[in-house]
Structure formats: structure tokens, C-alpha cells
Chain A
Amino acid sequence: MIQDLQYVGGSYPVHDVAQKVTGELVYGSDFSVPGMLHAKLILSTIPHGIVTRIDAASAEALPGVVKVFSHENAPMDGFSRARIHPGQDMSFYDETLFSKHVRFVGDRVAAVVATSRATAEAAAALVEVEYEELPAVLTVDQALADGAPAIHEGGNLLYEHEIEKGERPDLAGAVLVTTTASTPRVHHAALEPHVCIAQGHSTGGMTVWTTSQGVYAARTVIAELLGLEYHRVRVMKVPMGGSFGGKTEYIIEPVCAFLAHATRRPVKLLLDREECMIATMVRPATTTTIRTACTLDGELLDFEAATTLDSGGFAASTPDYSVHMCKKVTKLYRVPHYQHQGRAVYTNTPVGGAARGWGAPEMTAATEIHMDRVAAALRLDPVEFRLKNMVEPQDTDLVTGLPLGEARVRECLERGAVAFDWVARRARPAGRGRIRRGVGVAAGAHKNGMFGAFPEASRMGLKMNEDGTFELHASLHEVGCGIVTTMKVIVGEVLGLHPDLIAAGEADTATTPFDYGTYGSRVTYVVGECARVVAERVKERLLAAASDLLQEPVERLVVRDGAVRVRADGERSIAYRDIARLTEMRAVPNIAASTTYYAVSNPAAYSVQFAEVEVDTATGLTAVTDFLAVADVGRAINRGMVEAQYQGGVQMGIGYALYEHLDVDGRGRAGIDGFKNYHIANAPEMPPVRVELIEAGEELGPFGAKSVGEIATVPTAGAVVNAVNNALGTELSDLPLTPEKILAALHREEVPCSSC
């Protein structure tokens, strides 16, 4: 294992923290370009229909209005918002810039471009849109019913797949348990609304400033749709106020780029909160039925699951999302036979797509609620039952066939059970009064990049500056969790240089090398390893130069604290500044390297989480009163930020379990238009969240590190729901556990008692 790390494992704030606390950082929503126009979208007010007339005359007559765009004067080629790469499979080109056939309340019908935001908003209110309404299907059951109106050609069953792995053993005498669990459609709730600025140039090229997670993907979608050569489209990542997957797909970027291209002007498209909620993307609602077979002493024999995912009005990434839901359970549990059917279904509701965890929070909630029910059926403690079936380090994932690596989930569970005092707290009675207390546990697994499903690589350049500081050229996409800092710490560790003496910027298709971006928990494990590798290459050159200058063999040299030092010779060292200055004079002075790193593995990252709740049986309100997250992180690159990210992941998961749901009414309207009626956990509602790290090191991760950002939230909802079920003796599995559902469950439970 790696010894004596100087910078890795420290705690560092996000790289732009000083600009953030002073208010000086220019986020996308703060950004402006001279002469910039403003766009306002006009969204469908009906869930399903055909636009029969758009009258923009009075809007366009308003002083300051440049033009109104709709299906009548914009390209109607289909695009896929989820296309990362031009050669990508699983892209569904079912969406256009503006819809003539509208498929949900919030579908884009038109956009007004004007000289000010206020004018654009006023003009948008004057655009008259008439529709021929079509019957709508608002649930997957309605969508799949015989004779249901087809939302897209080809019907409402967007995608269907099945996997089966292993051999089903003899199930005679086995204990069969079946659970159906539902997870809600939720809003990502990044605090900064979606925004894009695009500048159309008179030459026909364009520059785009986006708050997204992948500039190269944005360029693919924009350039292909507008028919521009890629080199004429420059996309830059600008500071963003959170994403959580909601800004991983290209929804407003192609629209804004088109408006800028058509007007040959800079255009800013900034959404309001309601538009973010209904017109961008939601975490898709899912329903999963699980049937397992176990031996009487708790050994899993068979795991069968069937998932239906509500894609909403367009496919976005939901087919792939649905496929990935099949890849979660076998990272966590050993089972001889695993079978999973998945369906993604169009409905006339907001579009589903990428969200933190990419199917894992959904599938894990269902799985872990189910595992508690199986434990109860077998009269086993939930921890004990899980331990009987969990994977071991170096196991192979039955579904993907990939090694799970240093999978320390058992250790997470065992250590967590002790730290949480599980046995004693679980044995404590829930109480008989108004407030009932319970504890719950859930485990989760997630991936480390896209190896196995996608060509997974990262590219970077690193060079020494003339004064001995360094610059990393990489397509980084900071979403707020310290990605830039992570890279600086990794490079600093290799070079023996304080991370603050290394500059690293964010992605720009014109100047930084190709990289997919912040996707699929790949950044630390894949991009970070690329940073380590390129730093090792530069270090070789640095040592070669120093070897010559010091007239010492490379083997006797070490890097530390910004100097190359002669081992076992405290006196002799040469500062990087002097190496830089002196090598400038050489024929080949270049202390620089670039590299492409191809990932060759995709191990699992784990977390086991423990929740304590108090449920008020009079109001149905649940308070989470204590929380422990144990995290198998391989190694923490930035310890403070790992813990902070976990605390945020837990907060998101508590909302998923208890508060958040973006339902639609019988007319397809969300009935939710802002944070006043969409609740995310606030400061008084959050319990203390303890985070314990297990750092066993992952062989191919940078200094042993693996992913954090998504796994942090994967098991949370399951732990909270299991705690509520423990408190109330219920089997609730329809998330979120709103007061109404809790009261209904208590009421049902008490009916037979009062009649007997």
C-alpha cells in the first residue's frame, strides 16, 4: 500500500472558494456578453396534442422583440439530448428544438428572443398558441393499456430488455418473498437554474458558454443538429451552481445555440424554477417488483426483478438508465441466479433522465426494502441477513462479469453496526405513544466510470511553467464537489509540490483535450488516474533534468516540497524554479507531457448507511434523528470534501425517502411550480450525519481512490424507509413516505384491531 502521502488525504476547500464566499465568481446565470439578447421559452400547457396555430404577430410587434421561433421556422430534425459521442449507441432522436406534436405540459413550443429578459417575458405572454388536444396517458399503466394513444411512432413501450445470469438452483423448500416498491419522479433541485449563453458569429461558427457536465457532448449535440463542423463550435464550461445529473444532458444548449445561430447574435437562455422543474428533466419514477428465494438460514438462491420506468415525453437517457438498474444488485450480493426485466415507457409527463446515481438509488431502495422484509420473514436481524449474502473483495460481478475490486462492503456493514450501536438500538422498543422510534440500515453499490459499457479514457497535458509552477490542461467539469482540487492534489502528490502551485482550469473544446466530462462516477477513478499518469510522465522528465543538473543518477533523486532532492543527502537539492530557469536554456527544455489513459477496470464503490427516525403517529411526520454513513472510498483524496459530499448525498436521500415527489394531476400538470410546494430538506430537518471512511485502497485508482459523489446518496432512502417500517411495524415501500401514506398505513393497521 502507498505510504507517506503528503497531500493526498488532506482536506482542501473547492478551488474557487475565495471567489464563492466573496460573491465574485461569475456563474452562468451571472454571465453576459455585450449586445446579448435574452430568450424566453413558451411551453405546452396541455399534456398531449398538436399545435395548430402559433400567432406571434403581437409579440413580434413589441419594441425590443427580435423574433419568435417555433416549429414553423426552426429545424425539425430529431436530436438526442443524451448523446455524448457521435458514435454512441442507445441514442433516441425523438426530440426536436420545438414541438409541433406536444407530449407533456412543459414541452417546448416556441421561444421569444428580445433585447431584455423583461421584454422577452412580456412578449412570450402575447404569443397565442392553439392546440388540437389528443388523449393523454399520464401513468405507465395507462400508456401500456390496450388501445392507448401512441405518444411516439412505434408505441409507448420505448425500450425493453432482459438479462439473466447464472443458474437457478433447486428452489424446493426455499422461502419466497415478493416486494413491489415505487420511487418518485423528483427534481434535481440544483440551486442555480439551467442557463446557457451562445454567441452566433457572422462567420457561421459559434461560441457557447454552458453550465453542463460535458462540453464535448454539448458540442456533439449542437454541431450535429445545426450541421456545423465541430471545429467551428467552441463550447466552454462556466461555473455552475450544482447539477446532480440534471445538467448532464443537452436540453437548453441546442435551443440556445440555434437561437444564436439564427440571429447571429449572443443569446442567453436562463430558465426559471418552474421551467427547471417541468421542462428540463426529472429523476424518472420507477416501480420494481422483486422476488427472491432464500434458504431457511438466509442464503440467497435466486433474485428476480422487473422494473418499469416512466420515461416521460421523450426518451432522453432513460433506456440506458433502465439497463443500468439491472447492474446494481449483483455488485452487492452473491446470488447464484439473477434475472431482471426492464421496461422504459413513454408517458405524457415531464422527461426523465440522468440523475445522481443513474438508477442505483431507485434499484437500491427497492432491493434494501425487500431485504428487510426477507430478514423479517426468516426472523433474522437485517445486518446478520445481509452479511450472509454480501460480496467479498475480489468477487466478480455476476451481471457485468467485471471484477468488483477491493469491495469492502462487509467491512462497512460490520464497522457501521458497531459505531451505530445497531444491536442495542434495534432491540429497543419503538414505543407505544404518539412518537415511535425506529432504526434502519441499507447498503448500496455503485460504479467507477464507464469501462465495460463505453470506451473509457481521459486525456490530459501537464507542463512546467517557466517559474517552476505547473499547469494541467484537462477538460474538467467542476460541479461543486472539488473536482479541480482533486486533480491538483493528485498531481501535487506525484510531483512533490503544493497543490496551490498547480493551475487547472475547466473544459473548453478549443483548448482542453477530449474528455467525456463529469459522468458515471468516473472523475476520481478515471480522470484522476489520468492526472496521476501524466504527472508521473512529467516527473520522469523533471528527474532527468535534475539528474543532469545535479550530476546524480535518477535513482538517488526524490521530489519533495517543490525541489528535487538527493536521497540521503539533506543538503543538496534543486528547486523547481531553478530547474525551470536552467532548462529553458537547453536544446530540449520541455518538462511537459500529454497522455491518454484508458481505463481497464470498473470496480464497485460501496456505502452502508444507518438511520434513526421518530415518526409522529398523529401527524404522520417523520424526523430523521441520527444518521451514520460508512463509505468504502478506497482512499480519500480530499478527506474533508469526501465527508461533505456524503453529508449532501444523505440529505438528498432523506428527501427522496420522505419529501420529494413531482406528481402530475389528471390534466398532466405538475401542480408543483417552485420550492414553495416542492420541499427539499432544510437545516433544521437535517440530523447530525456522521461519516466513517474505509480506506483499503483500490488497485487501479489514483493512490487507491474510488468514486464518492453518486454512491453517497445510493443507500440513504432505503435506510430511512427501513427505519420507518421498524418504528411502525409497517411494510411501506412506495416512496416518498409522506404523512398521508404513513397515516393511511397506520389507519389500515389499526382497523382490524378496533373491530376485534
Chain B
Amino acid sequence: MQLVLTVNGMTHEVEARPTARLLDVLRDQLGLTGTKEGCAEGECGACTVIVGGKAVNSCVMLAVQARGKEILTVEGLAKEGELDLLQQKFVEYGAVQCGYCTPGMLMSAKALLMGNAVPSEQDIRIALAGNLCRCTGYSAIVAAVKAASGREAAPLMELPGDAEELAAEVTTDPDTLAAACEVVEAETEDAPAGLCEPGALPGLVDPYDQSQSGIPGETEGGE
């Protein structure tokens, strides 16, 4: 049968059997493999998605039951590359180990926060009761959800840095660099001229600069 599903704000037309599970349509037909399968009987919560504002186990829901409702999966949490606050807190609080339960945990927690902006610890634990985790003992997950609802403790984890920014922070002062270049030039026969100007080394040409010849991959006009 033809099904129209709205997933993460996007409308999809899929061909599915009436008995198709929502989980299979999401994973196999829409390629949204962030939603996991752990038990196929609605016990472990790894397949949790939000349908019409409620957290559901997509392994025990038919795709057809989700027609006409907003379906939110883990892939829909981040917006334009920016993590959702809840995702950010899962990172900061070390709530992720193997990560297989994480998408389901996030969706159960998201559904909780959508209905209760300031849940108590007990509310959080009960909302996550149907999401099993074998790695964390839940402490860090509960702390992350609490933090996402504004009760911030100090973040536990040092966040992954942006490698380019980290590298760019360290520079050599120009005099030292010039002296080092002289050492290399003195030692090396055929040292390229202008060794010490970044970007002037052979092979480090700007590939987008059309005025240069011998551009890697160029198939015409070469010598």
C-alpha cells in the first residue's frame, strides 16, 4: 500500500505492506538507521521515536498507524548542524558509551521535555524506564536530561574541540620561523625558493587557482 509519512518535517511517499513495522520503514526504506532495533518486542526502547508528540516503540507500531502524524527520529533533533540542547548535554555529561541505546534515550527524554519542561529526577527515571542501557547505569543519562531542562551542574566532559581551530591556535613567531627556514635552506640542496612563505611550497598550490598549471587532476592544457 501507498503510505504518506511525515518524518522530521519532510513528507515521504513509501510503498509498504499493511503489516510493515514503522521501524522497518524508517530504517530500510527511508535509510534512517539512527533508530535501532534491540529486541523487537517493545522492551528495550532502542527503537523509540516520537509520533504525534508521544514516545513510541517503533518496533511494535505499524507504519500505517503513523500516517498523518508528525514523526520525529534522532536524525531530526539537530538543526542545520547544531546539536539539540539534549544531544549537547548527552555529550557533555558522558551519557554515551556504546551509544546503541542513545537514540532511543534521546527520543524518550525529548518527549518528556516536550510535555514537562522541568521534570523531577523521578519523572526522568520513569520516562526512561522503558529504555534499557547496559553500559552507563543511567546516572549520566539522568544528569544529562536534568541539565537539558535547565538544572545545570558543571559539565563533566571536556568537549571535543574543532581540530582546525585547535591547530590554528598554535603559531611560530616569525623570527623563529625565519631562522628555522635558514637552517633548512643551508642544509638542503635545491631548497625551493621562498620556503618560508606558507603556501609557496611545491605541491601546495591552491587547486582552485586556475592560473596555475600542473594542477592535480587536470586533463587538458598540461605540459
A653 nearest CB neighbor, chain B only: B137
Residue among A30, A188, A244, A479 facing the most chain B CB atoms (10 A cut-off): A30
Are A683 and B98 touching (Cβ within 8 A)? no
CA distance A646 to B97 in the complex (A): 12
Selected contact of A23 from candidates B34, B124, B163, CB within 8 Å: B34
* Whole-angstrom CA separation of A109 from B166 in the bound complex: 55
Interface contact A272-B97, CB-CB below 8 Å:
no
B100 touches which of A242, A273, A575 (Cβ 8 Å): A242
Closest to A22 in B: B78
CA distance A674 to B42 in the complex (A): 10
Asked whether any CB of chain A lies closer than 8 Å to the CB of B117, the reply is no
Residues B9-43 near A (CB distance < 8 A): 27, 32-41, 43
Question: What are the interface flags for A570-598 relative to B under an 8 Å C-beta threshold, 1 for contact and 0 otherwise?
Answer: 01111111100110111100000000000
**Cβ B36 vs Cβ A576 within 8 A:** no
Chain A 542-558 against B: per-residue CB contact (8 Å), 1 yes, 0 no? 00000011110000000
Choice from B41, B78, B98, B170 contacting A192 with Cβ under 8 Å: B98
B205 adjacent to chain A (CB < 8 Å): no
Contact B33 A645 (CB under 8 A): no
Partner of B129, one of A498, A650, A684: A684
State whether A10 and B158 are in contact (beta carbons under 8 Å apart), knowing that A191-B134, A273-B38, A688-B139 are contacts in the complex: yes
Interface residues in B134-172 by Cβ distance below 8 A to A read: 134-142, 156-163, 166-167, 169-172
Partner of A561, one of B43, B130, B159, B170: B170
Q: Mark B38-55, 1 if CB is under 8 A from A, else 0.
A: 111101101000000000
Q: How many residues on the A side are at the interface (Cβ–Cβ under 8 A)?
A: 84
Q: Are B163 and A500 in contact (CB under 8 A)?
A: yes
Q: A193 — which chain B residues lie within 8 A by C-beta?
A: 37-38
Q: A170 near B: Cβ within 8 Å?
A: no
Residues of A with C-beta under 8 A to B56 = none
Enumerate A635-654 residues with CB–CB distance to B below 8 Å. Answer: 640-641, 643-652
Give, as a whole number of angstroms, the nearest-CB distance from A484 to chain B: 12
Q: A273-B41, A550-B180, A680-B132 are in contact. Are A689 and B139 (CB under 8 A)?
A: yes
Chain B residues with CB below 8 A from A468, complex form: 167
Whether A582 and B135, one on each chain, are in contact in the complex, defined by CB atoms closer than 8 angstroms, is no
B114 CB–A CB distance under 8 Å: no
A482 within 8 A of B: yes
Residues in B63-114 with C-beta less than 8 Å from chain A: 73-75, 77-78, 83, 87, 90-92, 94, 96-103, 106
**Does B1 sit at the interface, judged by CB under 8 A?**
no
Q: Is B195 an interface residue (CB 8 A)?
A: yes
Whole-angstrom distance between the alpha carbons of A242 and B90 in the complex?
18
Whether the Cβ atoms of B98 and A682 lie closer than 8 Å is no
CA distance A731 to B38 in the complex (A): 37
Q: Given A482-B97, A572-B173, is A498 in contact with B136 using a C-beta cutoff of 8 Å?
A: no
Chain B residue contacts of A577, Cβ below 8 A: 167, 170, 172
Nearest A residue (CB) for B42: A676
**CB-based nearest B residue for A485:** B160
A742 → B minimal CB distance (Å): 23
Contact of B96 with A20 in the complex, beta carbons under 8 Å:
yes
Q: Residues of A contacting B40 with CB < 8 Å?
A: 272-273, 674
**How does the 8 Å CB contact mask read for A7-19 relative to B, with 1 for contact and 0 for none?**
0001111101110
User: Which of A30, A481, A683 contacts B135, CB < 8 Å?
Assistant: A481
| Cβ contacts under 8 Å, B129 to chain A | 682-684
Given A17-B99, A23-B74, A682-B132, decide whether A585 and B191 contact each other with a Cβ distance below 8 A: yes
B137 contact from A17, A641, A650, A675, Cβ within 8 A? A650
Question: What residues on B are CB-neighbors of A644 within 8 Å?
Answer: 94, 97, 135-137, 139-140
- Flag whether A403 is at the interface (Cβ < 8 A): no
Residue B187 CB within 8 A of the other chain: yes
Query: Of A193, A561, A689, which is in contact with the most chain B CB atoms at under 10 Å from its CB?
Result: A193
Q: Is the CB of B167 within 8 A of A586?
A: no
B100:A500 contact, CB within 8 angstroms: no
Q: Distance (Å) between the CB of B167 and the closest chain A CB? A: 6
| B97 pairs with A683, CB closer than 8 A | no
Q: Is B7 close to A, CB under 8 A?
A: no
Find the A residue at minimum CB distance from B195.
Answer: A585
A675 to B187, CA, bound (A): 69
CA distance A478 to B147 in the complex (A): 27
* Residue A64 is within 8 A (CB to CB) of chain B in the complex: no
B223 to chain A, nearest CB (A): 24
Whether A240 pairs with B98 at a CB distance below 8 angstroms is: yes
Residues of B within 8 A of A57 (CB): none
Which among B36, B38, B83, B139 is the interface contact of A22 at CB below 8 angstroms? B83
CA gap between A232 and B162 in the complex, in Å: 39
Q: Is the CB of A674 within 8 A of B97?
A: no
Taking a contact as CB atoms under 8 Å apart, the answer to whether A16 and B94 are in contact is no
A149 at the interface (CB under 8 A from B): no
Q: Which residues of B contact A585 (CB under 8 A)?
A: 184, 188, 191-192, 195, 201
A640 touching B101 by the CB < 8 A rule? no
Complex interface residues of chain B between 118 and 133 (CB less than 8 A to chain A):
122, 124-126, 128-133
Residues of chain B contacted by A675 (CB below 8 angstroms): 38-39, 41, 43-44, 132
B183 near A: Cβ within 8 Å? yes
Distance A13 CA – B170 CA, assembled complex (angstroms): 24
Give every chain B residue within 8 A of A14 (Cβ-Cβ): 96-97, 99
- B73: chain A residues at CB < 8 Å are 23
Q: List 8 contacting pairs A-B, 8 Å CB cutoff, sorted by A.
A: A18-B160, A21-B102, A30-B33, A242-B98, A585-B191, A676-B39, A683-B126, A686-B139
Interface residues of A (CB under 8 A from B): 10-14, 16-18, 20-27, 29-30, 188-193, 239-242, 244, 272-273, 467-469, 479-482, 498, 500-501, 548-551, 561-563, 571-578, 581-582, 584-587, 640-641, 643-652, 674-676, 680, 682-684, 686, 688-689
Closest 5 CB pairs of A and B: A23-B34, A241-B100, A480-B98, A20-B99, A647-B137
